[in-house]
Amino acid sequence: MTKENLKKVFLITFFIFTVFSVSFYFLGGDQLKYRNSSGNISMPDADSATEEIIAGTIVMQPFVNRVEDIEEMSVSFAKLYKDTQGKITVFLYDNEELLMKRTVDLSDMNETETVILRPDEPISGRKGHMLAIRIYATSEADQGVVALMRKDMPGSKFMFDEKMIDGTLCFSLTGRDENYLGKYYWYIVAVMELLLGGLLLKSYSDYLNNRSNLIVRAIAAVYHYKFLISQLVIRDFKSKYKRSILGVFWSFLNPLMTMTVQFLVFSTFFSSDTKNYPVYLLSGVVCFSFFNECTTMCLSSVSGNARLITKVYIPKYIFPLARTISSTVNLGISLVPLLLACLVLGTVLKPQAILFLYFVICLIVFSLGIGLFLSALMVFFRDIQFLWTVFTQIWMYATPIFYPAEIIPERFKFIVRLNPLYHFIGNARTCLINGISPEPRAYIFCLLFALVSLAIGAYTFKKTQDKFALYL
Amino acid sequence: MSDNMIEVKNVTMKFRMSDEPINSLKEIFTTAVSGKLKFNEFLALDDVSFELEKGKTLGLIGRNGAGKSTMLKLISGILKPTKGTIITRGNIVPMLELGAGFDLELTGKENIYLNGAILGYSKEYLESKYEEIVEFAEIRDFIDMPIRNYSSGMMARLAFSIASVVQPEILIVDEILAVGDVAFQEKSFARMKELMTGGATVLFVSHDLEKIEEMCDKVIWLNKGKVVMFGDTDDVCNAYRKAQGIKE
């Protein structure tokens, strides 16, 4: 590696980071600036109805608002099978200030009807305020007009015709909260650019002054071993497809065939709940096959090259790294059928779809970490290869690949949330299928999962690699 | 900076050998529970120190199991010593076992690149030496054939040709590798000699005392992991001959 090489790598790194940060601002869209409010009130399941409201009755439901920008409110009514005439009006008040209202004619209402109120602009600046829903009815005859749905709720009360009644009206409130990451986006980017620039400059000066520097050493190692790595990757491919008639074409066919089989088996169960089920399935299959192939190949990478490791000096991490790169090339090839499927099955690829590469890269780093860990473990405990086969099976079923994440019962949701593969695959799908960027938190979580895995893998490998030659 | 290309200081190498190889979880578990997990320590090298200046050739002699190969593996970085330090300056080419990285499914040409990469050559260097390798190995007609179809002699010739195109600063040789038929053996011996006298610092293990005397500037005599004698070639070789009861 020369001075020019290092300079080039650093400049490219800085340039890519800048391009990514700027384009992410535009691709991120509303998800970058806002997120679903944590103070949303969802519609409760009604267990009874109130008395009928007659003209002139005022119903008032007070509640504490925890939403920053209110976008929608709804209230549930029941007509109780009466053919009554009249109108009802729903108001939202902050003390005496009217925030929004809507009047509905009863003849337009179904037996049970949810009246939805949407402000023209999101109502903001009311977080922490005591708001009140008021409902008022008018009718020509002095008779019962309509009833409200209610639900028992300890400690909650509402006012019905100047009487306090236990329970709550059935209403919902949804909105968004501002995302601080989005609000201060350019400041955060500027700070990160400064940190990155400083780090690169420091590394460069370390290099010029012959001081040891982890980053410089890593780049030097890449330069030094790139030819070896490329040869090992080529070897993996050639020996994998040697003597098969279709050769590399199998990398296309495999995910397609797996998807077809799973589609035939599962489509009747799941395709109705899932948007664009074939693409959903194929993206999951491609990602999980990569993870499975990469970790399984890494597992045997050190023990399988025992002859080399005990005869020639090569940094041992080269072997799992080369296997990860071959799997990545394979993944790249199998992305082609995925994109084809998107086009054929009518998924409109928005610019945001490109963001899915971020989650794929996180998945690759994550798999490399696991691969390093497994390859080191395999030297000492050969049983791990059989355990791992079982473990990946369990992991596959625990990850929403062919079923939608929504069908998991609430009490098991935590398992899915702890599953890094769910995050990588789920977010990649959001970008690809829905064409929107996940919220910024998802990017940070996925990066953390990947880096923690890599750190654990690299640490285990480094600690044990000196003993490899003795156990192989 | 000193002129020493290799510095070995108080190096001790212990192998833990269990009576039977234990390398599965179940075995570890059952032996640990039954209290049978015992390791026999085997001292392959015991407090060995020496230095080697640039351009010199050092011979290692001793009976089987004296620790010669362990020493070579330690210096080439394949093993790490239990105690002590080893400092080497410059690129090391170990000619311990040839063709360790051959892949039988690949062609001769592909294997030249793969094996060259494993030995640490750069792409440009291999490309410039490719013709020389093929020519020396005398396998031009078979170069695009998977090497599983090669005879063992062809494979050995190819391996030797790849390994010997280097210009190493430190060359580590475990016996002079004479492979192939008589004609090729002569050719390869000449090539080895050329390499070893071509300015490189050489570490050379052999059971052939005549070759040691011919090539080496200094000799170490190892016995059961300990240095018996370290000095000029003639002195050490004569002492060794006496101890082995070999007539001069």
pLDDT tens digit sequence for A55-65: 778 888 888 99
Contacts of residue B123, Cβ cutoff 8 Å, sequence gap at least 6: A227, B113, B117
β-strand partners of A62: A132
Residue A367 dihedral angles phi and psi, to the nearest 5°: -65, -35
Write out pLDDT tens, residues A240-290.
Answer: 887 788 877 888 888 888 888 888 888 887 777 777 888 888 899 999 999
pLDDT value of residue B32: 63
Beta-strand (E) ranges in chain B? Answer: 4-18, 39-53, 57-61, 83-88, 92-95, 170-174, 201-205, 218-223, 226-232
Find chain A residues with C-beta within 8 A of B103's C-beta: 235, 239
Q: Strand, coil or helix: what is B41?
A: strand
Q: Strand, coil or helix: what is A41?
A: strand
Find chain B residues with C-beta within 8 A of A466's C-beta: 80
- Selected for mutation to probe chain B from A5, A223, A231 (highest B CB count within 10 Å) is A231
Residue indicated by tokens 């340039």: A15
pLDDT score of A466 more than 90: no
Tokens coding B242? 């006496």
pLDDT score of B36 more than 70: no
Neighbour-count burial for A367-400, b at 16+ CB within 10 Å, e otherwise: bbbbbbbbbbbbbbbbbbbeebeeeeeebbebbb
pLDDT score of B33 more than 70: no
Q: Are A76 and A112 in contact (CB under 8 A)?
A: yes
Subunit contact A382:B94, Cβ cutoff 8 A: no
Subunit contact B101:A309, Cβ cutoff 8 A: no
Over residues A155-177, mean pLDDT: 86
Subunit contact A311:B120, Cβ cutoff 8 A: no
Measured CA angle at A338 (ends A289, A281), to 5 deg: 60
> At A297, which amino acid appears?
M
Over residues B148-170, mean pLDDT: 86
> At A330, which amino acid appears?
N
Subunit contact A235:B106, Cβ cutoff 8 A: yes
Q: How far, in Å, CA of B243 to CA of B237, rounded?
A: 10
pLDDT value of residue B38: 59
> At B30, which amino acid appears?
T
pLDDT value of residue A51: 82
pLDDT band at residue A370 under the 50/70/90 scheme:
very high
Find chain A residues with C-beta within 8 A of B100's C-beta: 307-308, 311-312
Q: For the purposes of burial, counting CB atoms within 10 Å of the CB of A125, is it exposed (0-12), middle (13-18) or buried (19 or more)?
A: exposed
Query: Which of B115, B153, B102, B161 is CA-nearest to residue B135?
Result: B161
Residue indicated by tokens 């400083």: A198
What mean pLDDT is reported for chain A? 87
| Lowest pLDDT segment from A226-235, A375-384, A418-427, B205-214 | B205-214
pLDDT score of B248 more than 60: no
Rg of chain B over CA atoms, in angstroms?
A: 20
pLDDT score of B247 more than 80: no
pLDDT score of B154 more than 70: yes
Tokens coding A171? 């209403």
Over residues A384-400, mean pLDDT: 93
Find chain B residues with C-beta within 8 A of A384's C-beta: 25
Count of H-run helices and E-run strands, chain A: 15, 14
Which among B28, B79, B118 has CB closest to A308?
A: B118
Portion of chain A with pLDDT greater than 70, in percent:
98
Q: Are B120 and B50 in contact (CB under 8 A)?
A: no
Other Cβ atoms closer than 10 A to A1: 14
DSSP 8-class letter at B24:
S
Q: How far, in Å, CA of A393 to CA of A296, rounded?
A: 12
Chain A residues whose C-beta sits inside 8 Å of any chain B C-beta: 227-228, 230-232, 234-235, 238-239, 242-243, 307-314, 380-384, 387, 466, 469-471
Which among A227, A380, A469 has CB closest to B123?
A: A227
pLDDT value of residue A298: 95
Q: Are A437 and A431 in contact (CB under 8 A)?
A: yes
Q: Measure Cα distances from A321 to A299, A460, A471, B211 in Å.
A: 11, 15, 21, 42
Over residues A316-332, mean pLDDT: 94
pLDDT value of residue B23: 61
What predicted TM-score, i.e. pTM, was given to this entire model? 0.82
Write out pLDDT tens, residues B40-68.
Answer: 778 888 889 998 888 888 999 988 888 88
Query: Which of A86, A88, A103, A90 is CA-nearest to residue A140?
Result: A86
pLDDT value of residue A141: 64
What mean pLDDT is reported for chain B? 84
Query: Which of A296, A299, A471 is CA-nearest to residue A378?
Result: A299
pLDDT value of residue A372: 96
Subunit contact A313:B78, Cβ cutoff 8 A: yes
Query: CATH number of the domain at B4-91+204-244, please?
Result: 3.40.50.300
Q: For the sheet containing B218-223, what is the strand order?
A: B92-95, B170-174, B201-205, B57-61, B218-223, B226-232
Over residues A19-37, mean pLDDT: 83
Write out pLDDT tens, residues A181-239.
Answer: 778 888 989 999 999 999 999 999 999 888 888 888 888 888 889 999 999 999 888 88
| Lowest pLDDT segment from A147-151, A207-211, A347-351 | A347-351
> At A314, which amino acid appears?
I
Rounded to the nearest angstrom, the gap between the alpha carbon of residue A137 and the centroid of all alpha carbons in its chain is 45
Q: How far, in Å, CA of A32 to CA of A179, rounded?
A: 7
If phi over 0 gives left and psi between -120 and 50 gives alpha, with beta otherwise, what is residue A213?
Answer: beta
For residue B21, the surrounding DSSP H or E stretch is: none
Q: Measure Cα distances from A304 to A375, A462, B42, B120 in Å.
A: 10, 18, 26, 20
Q: Are A374 and A388 in contact (CB under 8 A)?
A: yes
Q: How far, in Å, CA of B183 to CA of B177, rounded?
A: 14
Of the CATH numbers 1.10.3470, 2.70.98, 2.60.120, 2.30.30, which one belongs to the domain with range A48-178? 2.60.120
For residue A52, the surrounding DSSP H or E stretch is: strand A48-54
Rounded to the nearest angstrom, the gap between the alpha carbon of residue A171 and the centroid of all alpha carbons in its chain is 29
pLDDT score of A373 more than 90: yes
DSSP characters for A2-29? -HHHHHHHHHHHHHHHHHHHHHHHHHHT
CA dihedral of A28, A30, A33, A34, whole degrees rounded to 10: -130
Q: Where are the domains of chain A?
A: 48-178, 244-471
Tokens coding A293? 């192939």
Residue indicated by tokens 């690129």: B91
pLDDT value of residue B210: 86
Q: How far, in Å, CA of B134 to CA of B142, rounded?
A: 10
pLDDT value of residue B2: 61
Q: Are A80 and A52 in contact (CB under 8 A)?
A: yes
Subunit contact B73:A242, Cβ cutoff 8 A: no
For residue A420, the surrounding DSSP H or E stretch is: helix A420-429
Subunit contact B25:A381, Cβ cutoff 8 A: yes
Q: Strand, coil or helix: what is A336?
A: helix
pLDDT score of B235 more than 80: yes
Q: Which residue has the higher pLDDT, A442 or A79?
A: A442
| Lowest pLDDT segment from A72-76, A272-276, A343-347, B61-65 | A272-276
pLDDT band at residue B27 under the 50/70/90 scheme:
low
pLDDT band at residue A434 under the 50/70/90 scheme:
confident
Over residues B110-116, mean pLDDT: 91
Beta-strand (E) ranges in A8-47? Answer: 34-36
Residue B213 C-alpha, separation from nearest chain A C-alpha, in angstroms: 27
Which chain A residue shows the shortest CA-CA distance from B101? A308
pLDDT value of residue A243: 78
Q: How far, in Å, CA of A164 to CA of A180, rounded?
A: 40
Residue B238 C-alpha, separation from nearest chain A C-alpha, in angstroms: 32
pLDDT score of A378 more than 90: yes
Contacts of residue A35, Cβ cutoff 8 Å, sequence gap at least 6: A176, A177, A179, A439, A441
Tokens coding A211? 């001081």
DSSP characters for B127-169? HHHHHHHHHHHT-GGGTTSBGGGS-HHHHHHHHHHHHTT---S
pLDDT band at residue A427 under the 50/70/90 scheme:
very high
Which chain A residue shows the shortest CA-CA distance from B92? A313
Which chain A residue shows the shortest CA-CA distance from B79? A469
